[in-house]
Amino acid sequence: MTDAIRLSHLSKRFGDFAAVDDINIAVPKGAFLVLVGPSGCGKSTLLRMLAGLETPSEGEIVFGGRVVSSGQAGLVADPSDRDAGLVFQSYALWPHMSVAGNIEWPLKVAKWSRADRQARVAEVLQLLGIEELSQRYPAEISGGQQQRVAIARTIGPKPGILLFDEPLSNLDAKLRIEMRSELMRIHRATSATSVYVTHDQVEAMTMASHVAVLNKGKVEQFGPPIDLLEKPLTTFVATFLGTPPANLLTVTRQAGELRFGNLVLAAAAQAGQHEKAQLLYRAHDILVGEQKGKPVISAIFDEAAPIAGRTMVTALFEGKRITAMADGYFRAQPGERIPLTFIEPPSAVFAMSGERIGE
């Protein structure tokens, strides 16, 4: 089967700065790809190249077997000739047009017949649940409703690829959660391949069939979200994804053991030939309290947050912030010493340079 999207050696430079640096990924048809990473990592620049709003410096973009952008050939297919629709962060609705008019306009541009336009507008209004808003204007509806109109306008022409540029960032927390479910329902209903940009890793892990974690213009890791959580290839991926955040502890090889301070945490063989390494511990692998026979440290309590009947606790040990879990609702005074026990072996071992050691 032909990939819906294939990026080969794709780069975008602004002077000496590489905003996107040699990206190579293939996205299967019908996938929901989320581009996630911190501000300035290149995800919006990448989306703009997919949309045809930026020209690659090098490499190419292929949609369904057709080259739509090529840095070497200087080819950039017009945005209207890519079978792709873009939902902007700002919604970008035409204020002088009604909701129905906004949705109908791209169909007019595509030269749909009047009857087909009216039928399609009615169809997407119903799909988004905004039939009663059809004759209102953007200034007369809420931000969440404007979001739905922007999506309806984008899916109206039935594009094969949907591009989303942080479309939920202007919504409040409750509405963001509701709209995540709505976007997934729309994705399933349209069967389009979707590419979604966000800096919110919870959105990424909730919505994606595939995730590309970007950092400094490069893809650190690409694959299904569970694979990235269970087998992160770099320390950046390991600490960027996952809630609560994971812990990275620097250990030193001593007499066949890996030590964190004076605490023995693992056998030296797990670090290969490295004299120093970083051990990954998820918050649920470290328990507040003591367990007989398990490594324990005395840390300084900093803060606590209740999560689903347990408590996420952050404490300091020799200047290092460590996140652990406590059963039930835990309370302590800031500055109080609390025991933290390593109840599980490390989830992964990384070199000091950030690459995973071993399988």
Assign residue 167 the CATH number of its domain: 3.40.50.300
| Strand ordering across the sheet containing 210-215 | 84-87, 161-165, 193-198, 32-36, 210-215, 218-223
Same-domain status, 63 and 183: yes
Predicted local distance difference test score (pLDDT) of residue 75: 86
Predicted local distance difference test score (pLDDT) of residue 245: 81
Predicted local distance difference test score (pLDDT) of residue 359: 67
**Identity of the highest mean pLDDT range in 29-43, 78-92, 170-184:** 29-43
Name the phi and psi angles at 307, rounded to 5. Answer: -140, 110
Same-domain status, 25 and 125: yes
Same-domain status, 208 and 264: no
Q: CATH number of the domain that 260 lies in?
A: 2.40.50.140
Same-domain status, 229 and 139: yes
Residues sharing a CB contact under 8 Å with residue 122, sequence separation 6 or more, in sequence order:
131
Same-domain status, 214 and 326: no
Predicted local distance difference test score (pLDDT) of residue 244: 83
Among residues 240, 271, 287, the one where a domain terminates is 240
Predicted local distance difference test score (pLDDT) of residue 219: 97
Same-domain status, 272 and 219: no
Predicted local distance difference test score (pLDDT) of residue 166: 86
**Helical segments of 69-113, H only:** 99-109
Q: What is the pTM of this model?
A: 0.88
Same-domain status, 71 and 148: yes
Reported as a single tens digit per residue, the pLDDT across 122-147 is 999 998 889 999 999 999 998 888 98
Name the phi and psi angles at 316, rounded to 5. Answer: -115, 135
- C-alpha 311/C-alpha 298 separation (Å) is 18
Same-domain status, 297 and 186: no
Same-domain status, 180 and 313: no
3-state secondary structure of 270: helix
Specify the number of domains making up the chain.
Answer: 2
Reported as a single tens digit per residue, the pLDDT across 318-358 is 889 999 999 999 999 999 999 999 999 999 999 999 999 98
Same-domain status, 173 and 290: no
- C-alpha 84/C-alpha 63 separation (Å) is 9
Same-domain status, 266 and 321: yes
Same-domain status, 314 and 351: yes
Among residues 194, 213, 240, the one where a domain terminates is 240
Reported as a single tens digit per residue, the pLDDT across 155-199 is 999 999 999 998 887 777 787 888 888 888 888 888 899 999 998
Reported as a single tens digit per residue, the pLDDT across 205-249 is 889 999 999 999 999 999 999 999 999 999 999 999 988 889 999
3-state secondary structure of 57: coil
Cβ proximity of 128 and 186 under 8 Å? yes
CB atoms within 10 A of CB 276: 12
**Identity of the highest mean pLDDT range in 5-19, 72-86, 165-179:** 5-19
Residues sharing a CB contact under 8 Å with residue 67, sequence separation 6 or more, in sequence order:
60, 61, 73, 75
Predicted local distance difference test score (pLDDT) of residue 268: 93
Predicted local distance difference test score (pLDDT) of residue 1: 59
* Domain extent at residue 172: 5-240
Residues sharing a CB contact under 8 Å with residue 31, sequence separation 6 or more, in sequence order:
4, 193, 194, 209, 210
